[in-house]
């Protein structure tokens, strides 16, 4: 398990052979006895990791999240409730027949691609659960699989693309409140009518469609609808929270807080994964690496919050990247060290290092978003002024 965490934190800089040699050197420094004196080969580690099912790492992720909630949970609650958010991403994989068969690929793509949906605690940024599916799978179906990890009484913040009548009914059945963004040209007729009315806040009635396959759903549902301005565009939020529980400004702040998980997802999309950072070409191996990365993120966030408490600072004031780097540097020694005194001294040094870091504030956009995607030089009317790159 320690070697797996070392592999994902390495972010593809080294292959199996160099990783195993580094692991054996660190174990020798920590005075830990391993089965053999010399390091095993990379091929041996590749075969050995197949014996660890990816569901076991998912169980460890659940335990790490529960441990974090027990120790630090009250600091990251909103009115006594946990606030969760879910998001999905497409991950390109290495070329292999089994991966093409299991996950498929985008049209015209030369590599297989899988869909990952992860559930995060919005304020603590700790991953709670993850699910996988083919490239063309529905992220709404992924969300339904993740609902077992959302405690009753929590608040779920979801982005556009997720809202649906059946999903809202399932959330209400489980006792989970929601804040959902929906397009102004929504599939709900009540939302389109609300947009045309010009009102900023109203209670609307959602109606179940006749073609709905689930006949056990109620015919209608009443939710609050609010309209907000986002730059030049407008967005509509639907929520099951009452006006006494959350005001209009509080709902806007909760939805805005959802963007904190985008920084965590950047690790999965950019810093942690990609064609050069994946090692496995098997279905279970790929899932194993993804869950191991999420477990590493949960442990690094635990280190960050502990450093904030140790130094008397707010967790938001410290840099998450500093915690990840410190954990990547010492995780082998920390997990292999059997002596309590040595481990305590190592943790104290890491906490002091993380406490010195400062989180950079996200600056506003100083210029309009531009795309560098090549454009056609010719259109049906002749040559265009926008030239391709």
Instruction: State residue 388's pLDDT score.
Output: 41
58: number of CA atoms within 13 Å, CB side? 15
Helices (H), 104-149: 139-146
Contacts of 348 (CB under 8 A, 6+ apart): none
Tokens 């001294």 sit at which residue?
345
Instruction: State residue 367's pLDDT score.
Output: 58
Roughly what angle, to the nearest 10 degrees, separates helices 16-29 and 320-336?
70
CB 260 within 8 Å of CB 89: no
3-state class percentages of the chain: helix first, strand second, coil last, to nearest 5: 45, 15, 35
CB 273 within 8 Å of CB 12: no
Neighbours of 142 (CB within 10 A): 21
Closest by CA position to 79, among listed 154, 157, 149: 154
pLDDT tens, the chain, 389 aa long: 888 888 887 777 777 788 888 888 877 777 777 788 888 888 888 888 889 999 999 999 999 999 999 999 899 999 999 999 998 888 888 888 999 999 998 877 788 889 999 999 999 999 999 999 998 888 888 999 999 999 999 999 998 888 888 889 999 999 999 999 887 777 788 888 888 888 888 899 888 876 655 667 888 889 999 988 766 677 889 999 998 898 989 998 998 888 877 777 666 666 555 555 678 888 999 999 889 889 988 988 999 999 999 888 988 888 888 888 888 777 666 666 656 667 777 788 888 888 888 887 766 655 566 666 566 566 566 655 544 43
Neighbours of 309 (CB within 10 A): 16
Burial grade of 307 (CB within 10 A; 0-12, 13-18, 19 or more): buried
Is residue 129 classed as helix, strand or coil in its secondary structure? strand
CB 142 within 8 Å of CB 150: no
**How would you classify the pairing of strands 83-92 and 155-158?**
parallel
């Amino acid at each position: 398990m320690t070697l797996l965490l070392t592999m994902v934190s390495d972010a593809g800089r080294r292959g199996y052979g160099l990783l195993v040699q580094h692991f054996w050197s660190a174990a020798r420094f920590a005075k830990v006895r391993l089965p053999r004196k010399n390091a095993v080969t990379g091929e041996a580690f590749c075969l050995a990791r197949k014996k660890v099912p990816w569901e076991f790492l998912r169980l460890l992720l659940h335990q790490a999240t529960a441990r974090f909630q027990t120790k630090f949970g009250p600091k990251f609650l909103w009115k006594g409730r946990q606030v969760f958010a879910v998001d999905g991403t497409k991950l390109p994989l290495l070329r292999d027949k089994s991966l093409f068969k299991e996950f498929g690929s985008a049209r015209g793509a030369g590599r297989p691609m899988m869909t990952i949906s992860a559930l995060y605690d919005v304020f603590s940024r700790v991953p709670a659960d993850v699910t996988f599916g083919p490239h063309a799978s529905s992220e709404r179906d992924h969300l339904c699989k993740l609902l077992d990890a959302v405690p009753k009484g929590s608040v779920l913040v979801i982005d556009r693309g997720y809202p649906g009548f059946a999903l809202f009914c399932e959330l209400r059945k489980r006792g989970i409140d929601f804040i959902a963004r929906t397009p102004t040209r929504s599939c709900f007729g009540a939302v389109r009518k609300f947009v045309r009315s010009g009102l900023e806040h109203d209670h609307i009635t959602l109606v179940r469609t006749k073609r709905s396959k689930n006949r056990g759903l109620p015919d209608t549902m009443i939710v609050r609808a609010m309209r907000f301005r986002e730059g030049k565009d407008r967005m509509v939020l639907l929520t099951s929270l009452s006006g006494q529980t959350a005001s209009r400004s509080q709902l806007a702040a909760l939805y805005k807080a959802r963007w904190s998980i985008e920084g965590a997802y950047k690790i999965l999309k950019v810093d942690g994964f990609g064609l050069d950072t994946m090692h496995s070409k098997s279905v279970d191996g790929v899932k194993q690496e993804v869950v191991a990365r999420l477990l590493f993120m949960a442990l690094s966030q635990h280190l960050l919050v502990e450093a904030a408490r140790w130094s008397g600072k707010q967790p938001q004031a410290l840099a998450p990247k500093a915690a990840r780097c410190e954990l990547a540097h010492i995780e082998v020694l920390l997990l292999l060290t059997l002596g309590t005194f040595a481990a305590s001294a190592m943790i104290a040094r890491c906490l002091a290092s993380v406490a010195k870091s400062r989180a950079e504030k996200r600056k506003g956009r100083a210029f309009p978003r531009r795309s560098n995607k090549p454009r056609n030089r010719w259109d049906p009317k002749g040559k265009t002024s926008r030239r391709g790159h």
